[in-house]
């Protein structure tokens, strides 16, 4: 029982300041006044789903999130493989470099990306000096959001994937090579399956984090379509419709919870001793 | 040598390494250097394409920004809130991390899911719910309110990292201390806490930086009286206008302490407590 007592202070803090307010906010979206009486109804959700801009925002959010997760995952996996299986000063230096974005506040990262990728930004200027006149717009659109999200998420994804790769016994890789497997075959048949748990954890946490991110899409995204978090804030503060804002947030929570379930599943999979 | 199975032959390996290194440094470092340059642009000369570097550098933006009292106040506010949040998270996470890492708890899964909640819930749900609650409790627009909200959202990371560290402590050491007659408090002070110090340090660092960076909830709970550096940066970039040169100065003011912390953290991060923390629920 003392074990439980040790857990109680954060437990109450989280229940009181996270679960209760969140449940209250969602319940509020269901309460509607009809003829002087409060009834529960889904009218706000119906209104939300009827609004074209909101529907478009939901689709846009999911697509941008999936694209960001995909690109981050591919790059982070390559980086983690390189750091795991290569020795030397380049590897050591890269090992120190890739951590940097973890320490850069997202407001700063977004600002840096805007100055860097803008229409007349640094990349465009550099390309201009080597004779490329027309640079496509890299920022204030989906491309900008994906690039900045990837930049900001790489350290976290690499850390988790690398931790998973460190747990793979060298002997297994050597034995795969001894029976004649090439690099690709070894990767697909040995490394990838053994690293499933780290993969699930990385992907689900990336998905949740990017889906709910606000600062990057607000600063680097365009005017339309916008990510759900930006639309929520607009509805909340500018359009003075907090009810729609919270309804949208509840929808975003349901989407995130699906990824959360994958995460919890992945972790318990490991606890059962599968890896 | 047999570890380099992924690449065959020396030239290919060098090309790959060089390619990786070039891409990584361009992608990671150059946006930040461009940011530094923006903070040093001479306001009389400006910086317009196709110039690769500003035509002339000056400290005018720095002088202008440092003359504004709000940047000093925001700096003080950020560095007042961050240590308090870190200390609170550490105090709350130590016992919980111990219970999750070393005890058999029946409600374990529920507690672990609850710890995950602040990460899964979108910030706006928290903000709207907490907003009205904080107004009722009189916590809106106060430093205490901002400290509380940051503690709540940063606590999960701290708990996970500390719990993962506790799991790694050998039971033999605890048993030995108990056999030698250590009661719970000396056991915690002389054995457990020194053994989990690296994890506590990694978690504390993460929390400290998280507090310095936290924007959305600080903005909603603290506005307009509690202004931290990200909130101020927001004002220069998102809200009123987009004054790149001033924003670049605020960026550097916020960036220098985090870079220093990064060098301090170098050793701790190598031990992968952070990764271990994320890997556990």
Q: How far is CA B113 from the centre of its chain?
A: 22
Are B33 and B167 contained in the same domain?
A: no
Helix/strand number for chain B, H first, E second: 13, 0
Out of B170-174, B235-239, B274-278, pick the least confident.
Answer: B274-278
Mean pLDDT of chain A: 84
Residue scoring higher pLDDT (A60 or B247) = A60
Are B125 and B219 contained in the same domain?
A: yes
Are B108 and B229 contained in the same domain?
A: yes
Place of tokens 């990064």: B262
**What is the signed CA dihedral for B181, B184, B185, B189, rounded to 10 degrees?**
80
Contacts of A96 in chain B (CB under 8 A): 266
Show which of residues 93-122 on chain A sit within 8 Å of chain B, judged by CB atoms.
93-94, 96-113, 115-116, 120, 122
> Beta partners for A34?
A37
Mean pLDDT of chain B: 78
Q: Is the pLDDT of residue B231 over 90?
A: no
Cβ contact (<8 Å) for B125 and A108?
no
Q: Is the pLDDT of residue B2 over 50?
A: no
Mean pLDDT, residues B219-246 taken together? 77
* pLDDT class of B5 with cuts at 50, 70, 90: very low
* pLDDT class of A71 with cuts at 50, 70, 90: very high
Are B73 and B16 contained in the same domain?
A: no
Q: Which of B163, B159, B166, B153 is nearest to B85 (CA)?
A: B153
Domain-terminating residue out of B21, B38, B59 = B59
What are B245's two structure tokens? 């040169």
Are B107 and B45 contained in the same domain?
A: no
A26-41 burial, b if ≥16 CB within 10 A, otherwise e? Answer: bebbbeeeeeeeeeee
Q: Is the pLDDT of residue B235 over 80?
A: no
* Residue B151, pLDDT score: 92
Mean pLDDT, residues B146-170 taken together? 85
Q: Please answer whether residues A212 and A41 qualify as being in contact, where contact means their C-beta atoms are separated by less than 8 angstroms.
A: no
Interface residue of B23, B128, B137, B223 to substitute, partner A, most A CBs within 10 Å: B128
Cβ contact (<8 Å) for B122 and A128?
no
Report the complex ipTM. Answer: 0.73
* Residue B82, pLDDT score: 95
Q: Is the pLDDT of residue B7 over 50?
A: no
* pLDDT class of A56 with cuts at 50, 70, 90: very high
**% of chain B residues with pLDDT over 90:** 10
* Residue B12, pLDDT score: 67
- What domains does chain A contain, in order, with CATH numbers? 1-41 (no CATH), 48-271 (1.10.3720.10)
B278 → chain A, closest CA residue: A160
Are B7 and B145 contained in the same domain?
A: no
* pLDDT class of A68 with cuts at 50, 70, 90: very high
Cis peptide before A213 (omega within 30 of 0): no
* Residue B6, pLDDT score: 47
Out of A244-253, B33-42, B85-94, pick the least confident.
Answer: B33-42
Q: What is the pLDDT of residues B72-83, one digit of tens each?
A: 898 899 999 999
Q: What is the CATH number of the domain that holds B85?
A: 1.10.3720.10
Out of A45-49, A167-171, A203-207, B253-257, pick the least confident.
Answer: B253-257
Q: Give the closest of A4, A236, A257 to B120, CB-based.
A: A257
Are B151 and B258 contained in the same domain?
A: yes
Rg (Cα) of chain A, in Å, rounded?
A: 23
Mean pLDDT, residues B57-66 taken together? 81
Rg (Cα) of chain B, in Å, rounded?
A: 23
Q: How far is CA B138 from the centre of its chain?
A: 27
Cis peptide before B57 (omega within 30 of 0): no
* pLDDT class of A268 with cuts at 50, 70, 90: low
Q: Which of B166, B174, B121, B111 is nearest to B277 (CA)?
A: B166
Out of A17-26, A241-250, A262-271, B109-118, pick the least confident.
Answer: A262-271
Cβ contact (<8 Å) for A112 and B34?
yes
- Per DSSP, the three-state class of A147 is helix
Residue scoring higher pLDDT (B103 or A231) = A231
Q: Is the pLDDT of residue A138 over 50?
A: yes
Residue scoring higher pLDDT (A216 or B274) = A216
* Residue A60, pLDDT score: 96
Interface residue of A2, A18, A166 to substitute, partner B, most B CBs within 10 Å: A18
Q: Give the closest of A14, A205, A264 to B278, CB-based.
A: A205
* Residue B281, pLDDT score: 35
* pLDDT class of B4 with cuts at 50, 70, 90: very low
Are B162 and B117 contained in the same domain?
A: yes
Cis peptide before B90 (omega within 30 of 0): no
Interface residue of A23, A27, A108 to substitute, partner B, most B CBs within 10 Å: A108
Q: Please answer whether residues A206 and A72 qualify as being in contact, where contact means their C-beta atoms are separated by less than 8 angstroms.
A: yes
> Beta partners for A33?
A38
Domain-terminating residue out of B29, B59, B89 = B59
Count CB neighbours of A155 within 10 A.
Answer: 22
* pLDDT class of B266 with cuts at 50, 70, 90: low
Contacts of B24 in chain A (CB under 8 A): 79, 94, 97-98
- Per DSSP, the three-state class of A37 is strand
CA distance B281 to chain A (A): 7
Q: Does A275 touch chain B (CB under 8 A)?
A: no
Residues A9-14: contacts with CB within 8 Å, 24+ apart?
Answer: A9/B92, A9/B95, A9/B96, A10/B92, A10/B93, A10/B96, A10/B115, A10/B155, A10/B159, A11/B111, A11/B114, A13/B92, A13/B151, A13/B152, A13/B155, A14/B114, A14/B115, A14/B117, A14/B118, A14/B152, A14/B155
Are B102 and B223 contained in the same domain?
A: yes
Write the CA distances from B134 to A20, B127, B144, B221, integer angstroms. Answer: 13, 10, 10, 8
Q: Is the pLDDT of residue B276 over 70?
A: no
Domain that holds residue B222: 61-279
Are B116 and B252 contained in the same domain?
A: yes
Structural domain count, chain B: 2
Q: Is the dihedral of CA B121, B124, B129, B134 positive or negative?
A: positive
Are B52 and B121 contained in the same domain?
A: no
- Per DSSP, the three-state class of A207 is helix
Are B91 and B50 contained in the same domain?
A: no
Cβ contact (<8 Å) for A108 and B30?
no
Show which of residues 55-74 on chain A sit within 8 Å of chain B, judged by CB atoms.
none
Mean pLDDT, residues B119-131 taken together? 71
Mean pLDDT, residues B243-269 taken together? 74
């Amino acid at each position: 029982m003392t074990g439980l007592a040790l857990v109680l202070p954060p437990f109450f803090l989280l229940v009181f300041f996270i679960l209760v307010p969140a449940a209250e906010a969602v319940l509020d979206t269901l309460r509607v006044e009809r003829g002087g009486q409060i009834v529960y109804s889904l009218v706000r959700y119906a209104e939300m789903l009827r609004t074209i801009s909101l529907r478009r925002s939901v689709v846009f959010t999911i697509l941008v999130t999936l694209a960001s997760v995909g690109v981050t995952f591919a790059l982070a996996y390559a980086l983690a493989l390189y750091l795991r299986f290569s020795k030397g000063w380049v590897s050591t230096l890269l090992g120190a470099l890739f951590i940097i974005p973890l320490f850069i506040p997202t407001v700063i990262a977004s600002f840096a990306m805007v100055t860097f990728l803008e229409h007349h930004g640094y990349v465009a200027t550099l390309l201009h000096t080597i004779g490329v006149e027309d640079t496509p717009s890299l920022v204030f659109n989906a491309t900008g959001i994906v690039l900045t999200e990837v930049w900001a998420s790489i350290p976290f994804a690499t850390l988790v994937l690398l931790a998973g790769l460190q747990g793979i016994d060298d002997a297994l890789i050597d034995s795969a090579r001894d029976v004649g497997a090439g690099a690709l075959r070894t990767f697909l048949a040995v490394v990838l399956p053994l690293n499933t748990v780290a993969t699930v954890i990385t992907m689900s946490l990336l998905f949740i984090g990017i889906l709910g991110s606000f600062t990057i899409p607000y600063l680097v995204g365009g005017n339309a379509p916008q990510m759900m978090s930006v639309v929520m804030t607009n509805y909340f503060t500018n359009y003075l419709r907090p009810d729609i804002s919270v309804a949208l947030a509840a929808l975003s929570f349901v989407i995130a919870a699906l990824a959360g379930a994958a995460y919890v599943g992945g972790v318990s999979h490991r606890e059962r001793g599968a890896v | 040598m047999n570890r380099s199975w992924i690449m065959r032959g020396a030239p290919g390996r060098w090309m790959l390494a060089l390619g990786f290194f070039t891409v990584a440094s361009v992608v990671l470092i150059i946006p930040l250097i461009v940011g530094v340059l923006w903070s040093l642009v001479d306001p009389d000369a400006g910086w317009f394409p196709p110039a690769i570097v500003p035509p002339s550098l000056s400290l005018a933006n720095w002088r202008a920004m440092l003359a504004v009292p709000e940047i000093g106040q925001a700096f003080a506010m950020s560095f007042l809130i961050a240590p308090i949040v870190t200390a609170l998270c550490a105090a709350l996470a130590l016992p919980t991390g111990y219970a999750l890492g070393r005890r058999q708890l029946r409600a374990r899964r529920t507690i672990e899911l609850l710890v995950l909640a602040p990460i899964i819930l979108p910030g706006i749900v928290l903000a709207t719910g907490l907003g009205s609650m904080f107004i009722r409790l009189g916590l809106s627009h106060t430093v205490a309110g901002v400290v509380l909200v940051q503690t709540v959202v940063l606590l999960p990371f701290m708990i996970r990292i500390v719990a993962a560290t506790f799991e790694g402590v050998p039971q033999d050491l605890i048993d030995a201390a108990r056999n030698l007659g250590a009661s719970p408090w000396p056991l915690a002070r002389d054995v457990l806490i020194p053994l989990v110090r690296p994890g506590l340090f990694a978690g504390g660092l993460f929390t400290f930086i998280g507090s310095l960076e936290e924007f959305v909830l600080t903005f909603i709970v603290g506005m307009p009286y509690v202004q931290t550096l990200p909130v101020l940066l927001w004002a220069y970039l998102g809200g009123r206008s987009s004054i790149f040169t001033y924003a670049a100065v605020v960026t550097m003011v916020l960036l220098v302490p985090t870079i220093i912390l990064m060098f301090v953290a170098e050793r701790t991060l190598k031990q992968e407590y952070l990764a271990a923390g994320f890997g556990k629920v």
